[in-house]
Structure 1
């Protein structure tokens, strides 16, 4: 059943990216100065979950590294590495500069100094950049000409709302690559390519692929997850074909896995906000902040908590109803999602 399991994995970067030629060309043009030994502008890549933001960023960098020998690349998931120290440490670690760094005692400024001394040209992907507790480090990296920065976020305004004026002006002047949700036909093409590379012939029908695309509602991550889970089930049961029942079970399982991964990725403060809604929701943003502030020792601002709410809404953990004045948030019912 499965010929090449790699192409069904969530982080797989294909040799060709379907239906993102314009975005790939745009981002490639931003990084092109690196090929001539010159600094590149910062790029801001935005779009909904599952639109392929991370995929095209990694794809463009791989293509760049095929052309230029002495270009390094590092990837930071800022949802997981949301503190200033962890982000800087991850970058340095990828560059081999953390051998004598003590996680608990090394000052943050020393990490920046080490990056400043680094002489190689490097592209840094800051994925989920709007999750950074201290977005000011984007400014620090932006100020180092040997580093080209790709900031990935769901929404650029939410990224900008948490940074100071000096960085906002620089980010607004950056190159923006905006991505929309995939259409069903586009998701079908993406799935068909994965099937062609990864599964035996006739393992799944085109009608079933269209059904996956429809169930995924524009989210390529979910669509590929459904295909992967169904193929894994068929392979485990020694079947030659994926059945409709396998697809139904795979859709439920993939949604649950993505939801749990999003929950596990919440920062401690975001988790408190989520738990407040779990216990007391639906609530307005003001009520959420009031209850949240009663629980934590160092509460974040109301603006930051609103950013948390927007982030969790984008990842289908929360739902919002009403206008900006009377809006209320509640948890998404997993059975109804």
Structure 2
């Protein structure tokens, strides 16, 4: 039933994109100066999860490389690579200059190595850039004339609130590309393309794709995950097509798998917060911070913890209930999503 499993991955970048032409055009215009040996403005891609920000960034930069093969591209997921050292290291990897870098290598030395790279421009796609703990890495990269930034985050105000004045003043003039939730028809079109390329013919109906799109509520990540889960279930059962019964089982399975993957990707301090909330059921911020500080040796600041919690809210892991002083946190009930 599955003829190309890559197409059913959330991180697959298609040869053509649907329903994001305006966003592609906007980003293409922003990075176009590279074709004329000029440095573009920093590009910021904002929007909720599952709206195609990462896909469009990689697709658009890939099209640029077709016209300008000398461009090196460094993709950095700041959820995992959240320090200045790791960001600089990933960019050195893209230039094949990381072979003799060790954990003990000073960060300033990494910056100097990157500064001396002169084989051509580098485009750094910084995904989940609001997860960076050392935002001076952005200041570093902005100082390098041969490095151009494409930064991906959920909300502009929360991202810029995390910057110090020096970083904020450097990046404030960048271009913004805003992404909204997909509509049901748009998700159906995306799923149709994935089904055509990734599955055998006629194994899923348009009505079933619409059911998936409705269940995903504008989140392409969830929609593609449900389609993949349904195809795998049908395959294991040796069904010739995806049945409605299989689809009904695939929806919660896909959501559970996405949630598990997201939780596994939490960095140590986020995971502590998540575990405290899970154990408490529902907990006020003050009590949450106190318990967190009891469990870690080197606690983060309250501001950093608020950023962590906000990110987990964006990813539907937890929800904030109430306003300000009366606010509490609890895990999201998957059954109501």
When normalised by structure 2's length, the TM-score is 0.96
Rounded Cα–Cα distance in structure 2 between residues aligned with 1:183 and 1:110:
47
User: 2:113 maps to which residue?
Assistant: 114
| Matching of residue 253 in structure 1 with residue 282 in structure 2 | no
Mean alpha-carbon deviation: is it higher for 128-137 or for 78-87?
78-87
User: 1:171 maps to which residue?
Assistant: 171
| Matching of residue 293 in structure 1 with residue 293 in structure 2 | yes
User: 1:66 maps to which residue?
Assistant: 66
Gaps of 5+ in 2: none
| Matching of residue 5 in structure 1 with residue 8 in structure 2 | no
User: 2:142 maps to which residue?
Assistant: 142
Gaps of 5+ in 1: none
Rounded Cα–Cα distance in structure 1 between residues aligned with 2:109 and 2:281:
44
Rounded Cα–Cα distance in structure 2 between residues aligned with 1:74 and 1:263:
25
Q: How far is the alpha carbon of 1:163 from its aligned partner?
A: 1.1
CA deviation vs aligned residue, 1:56-91 (integer Å, no higher than 9, x gap):
000001100011121110101111111222222122
| Matching of residue 155 in structure 1 with residue 155 in structure 2 | yes
Mean alpha-carbon deviation: is it higher for 219-228 or for 79-88?
79-88
User: 2:197 maps to which residue?
Assistant: 197
Q: How far is the alpha carbon of 1:281 from its aligned partner?
A: 4.2
Is the 8 Å Cα contact of residues 51 and 181 (structure 2) preserved in structure 1?
Answer: yes
User: 2:75 maps to which residue?
Assistant: 75
Rounded Cα–Cα distance in structure 2 between residues aligned with 1:9 and 1:278:
29
CA deviation vs aligned residue, 1:98-134 (integer Å, no higher than 9, x gap):
111112x101111111111111211000100111110
SS at match of 1:73: strand
Rounded Cα–Cα distance in structure 2 between residues aligned with 1:282 and 1:230:
33
SS at match of 1:325: helix
CA deviation vs aligned residue, 1:229-269 (integer Å, no higher than 9, x gap):
11122233333211111112211111111101111111111
Is the 8 Å Cα contact of residues 74 and 125 (structure 1) preserved in structure 2?
Answer: yes
Q: How does 1:1-337 map to 2 (within 5 A)?
A: 1-103=1-103, 105-119=104-118, 120-337=120-337
SS at match of 1:48: coil
Rounded Cα–Cα distance in structure 2 between residues aligned with 1:283 and 1:232:
38
Rounded Cα–Cα distance in structure 1 between residues aligned with 2:260 and 2:183:
25
Rounded Cα–Cα distance in structure 1 between residues aligned with 2:284 and 2:303:
13
Rounded Cα–Cα distance in structure 2 between residues aligned with 1:241 and 1:118:
53
Q: How far is the alpha carbon of 1:336 from its aligned partner?
A: 4.4
Rounded Cα–Cα distance in structure 1 between residues aligned with 2:265 and 2:226:
21
Is the 8 Å Cα contact of residues 286 and 302 (structure 1) preserved in structure 2?
Answer: no
When normalised by structure 1's length, the TM-score is 0.96
Q: How far is the alpha carbon of 1:335 from its aligned partner?
A: 4.4
SS at match of 1:240: coil
SS at match of 2:176: strand
SS at match of 2:180: coil
Q: How far is the alpha carbon of 1:331 from its aligned partner?
A: 1.4
Q: How far is the alpha carbon of 1:30 from its aligned partner?
A: 0.8
Q: How far is the alpha carbon of 1:279 from its aligned partner?
A: 2.4
Rounded Cα–Cα distance in structure 2 between residues aligned with 1:169 and 1:327:
32
CA deviation vs aligned residue, 1:190-234 (integer Å, no higher than 9, x gap):
101111222222111111000000011111011011111111222
Rounded Cα–Cα distance in structure 2 between residues aligned with 1:110 and 1:249:
52
